[in-house]
Amino acid sequence: MRRVNMRRLVVVGLVLAGLAGCGAVAVWAGENDAGTDEKNPYVWRPQTRSVAVFKNGLGFFMREGEVRLRDGWCIAGEVPPAAFGTLAIYSRGEESVVDVVGSGPGEVVEFDGRDAPTDVAAKRARLEASRQLKVELTYKHRGQDQKAAGTLVSVGPDFVVLEDEAGNFAVPLEGIAKMQVLELPLRIHVASEAEAPPEQETLGMAYLRKGITWIPDYTLKILDDETAELTLRGTIVNEAEDLIHTDVHLVVGVPHFVHTDYLAPIAVGQRIRTIGAAIEAQQVPQQVTTQMMNRAAIVQNFAPGVAEPTVFERPVDQPDGRLERALGDLPQLDGAAATDYTVYTKENLTLRRGERAILTLFTRKIRYSHIYHWSPPRAMNHSLVLHNATDTAWTTGPCMVMSDGQPLSEDLLGYTPKGAGGEVPVTTAINIAHSKTERESDRQLKAHHVPHNVYFDLVTLEGELKLHNYEKRTVEIVIRNPVPGKPLEASDGGTVQTDPTKLKLDERQGTVTWRVKLEPGERKSLTYQYERYVRSN
């Protein structure tokens, strides 16, 4: 059983009885009233249950929580900075529906006989439902309107006790004409098909907002000549809100969101009223402050003209570029897969705002092969082809390739659907000799001319590419050979293509491509022919 400070009760009781009809009365704050640590049951405090995180800095959050209803109503904190068209507040009850959601400076109750009854019993009941909330009370004292603000900690027969940083103080119950709830700008009403509204309900909130992203990266460990181990990790950067025991879904692919640069209308211009100082410090006698700090049982009557509480307003929390600053100069890895989503889920994750976390999403053994790319006159490059036979697509991300504990390369692995192959560049190919030569095979003098004595010769050129495989395995080489003219023909099944954007006679360009295989030690010569116009004079 809790021990009650009888001296405190006697002193407070005598003073309140003797000062009925006076202004706000200070009460010793050395010991809280019973129930002060309890939370108000009519305040909806939804917790984030899940969030779908996209790589473009957006997250789709889902919150949920139980709340008691007063005539179908409850109140809640600020509306998150939800993107336009994405905010939904709903009831989980089968026969209930959220039919009204209001947002403003805070719920206001006027005891004027129209909004709320004026009798003391009705006031007491309404104020009792607001215990543990920060409120601002307007009341009459000696014919003048006065205001007091603080946390409503107790409702007695004749007085209401508020608490602020300076201590506890009492307001005459009969004189209260108006109450405004502070810091809880959201009002929600639940309607039901039943005759009476439910006394308790589970409500949910869903919305899309900025401020959270994830960045994938891979590690590829070579095991043998055909097998490797691929590990995908995701780094979550959370600059949005606290995630406490939340299911986090990392999504590959970005849905079509049009209005992400606009807030939901109910969140636009929202303000939260907060108490700065209900009583100015200079109005508190020094001896009272000293004895409060010494936890003495002191009751002091303030002057009748209590100053109006200082109430500040701050805008609702909105994205302010924190995510961009947190990411710094990291590359933006917006992958493909707009029509084929893959989701990696991490359950029961705790990650507070401002924190980052690296999650291992999967480790799979995969098959890989080699491929070589050559685009003369540049050097030939060696790449690994990673064959995706897993049950998910691979998102775009940097990939570190390791072999025998040593790094081979680090480059970007592009989006790879299931059943396809993704390439990771490794190094310059040094075991495949390659060369290119060209010669002029024909020239038609002055084949074309324009006015003012300008003539062009039509020149035909032949080229040759030589390859020699020094590797101990069969290699596959993709060759893309650009030519400064119109390609005509190519040996060994080569494909010729003219650039359709370069059709002027002296600007024509094209490419000749091959895909060839060379056995160990094999040599191959590839030939091609193209024509171009050059000025005669």
Share of the chain above pLDDT 90, in %: 47
Q: Are 456 and 505 in contact (CB under 8 A)?
A: yes
Beta strands 176-181 and 108-110 are antiparallel
Residues contacting 348, CB < 8 A, separation 6+: 245, 246, 247
Q: What pLDDT digit, counting tens, does each position of 194-208 carry? A: 777 788 999 999 999
Whether pLDDT at 537 is above 90 = no
Give pLDDT, residue 358: 95
Rounded to whole angstroms, the Cα distance separating 308 from 283 reads 12
- Does 24 or 422 have the greater pLDDT score? 422
Query: Which range, 145-149, 431-435, 460-464, is most confident?
Result: 460-464
Beta strands 475-483 and 356-374 are parallel
Whether pLDDT at 21 is above 70 = no
Determine the average pLDDT of the residues in 490-498. 94
**Per-residue buried b or exposed e for 64-75, using 16+ beta carbons within 10 Å of the residue's own CB:** bbebebbebbbb
pLDDT band at 321 (very low <50, low <70, confident <90, very high): low
**DSSP collapsed to 3 states, 508-521:** CCEEEEEEEEECCC
- Does 303 or 442 have the greater pLDDT score? 442
Q: Are 51 and 59 in contact (CB under 8 A)?
A: yes
pLDDT band at 368 (very low <50, low <70, confident <90, very high): very high
**Using alpha carbons only, what angle is made at residue 150 by residues 146 and 153, rounded to the nearest 5 degrees?**
115
Residue with tokens 């026969």: 95
Phi/psi of residue 231, nearest 5 degrees:
-120, 130
pLDDT band at 453 (very low <50, low <70, confident <90, very high): confident
Give 165's DSSP letter. Answer: T
- Does 320 or 225 have the greater pLDDT score? 225
* pTM value > 0.85: no
Q: What pLDDT digit, counting tens, does each position of 39-89 carry? A: 899 999 999 999 999 988 899 999 999 999 998 999 998 788 888 888 899
Q: Are 93 and 192 in contact (CB under 8 A)?
A: yes
pLDDT band at 322 (very low <50, low <70, confident <90, very high): low
Q: Are 434 and 508 in contact (CB under 8 A)?
A: no
- Does 300 or 186 have the greater pLDDT score? 186
Whether pLDDT at 35 is above 60 = no
Beta strands 58-68 and 176-181 are unpaired
Whether pLDDT at 211 is above 70 = yes
Determine the average pLDDT of the residues in 489-501. 94
Give pLDDT, residue 102: 86
Stretch (H or E) spanning 441? strand 432-450
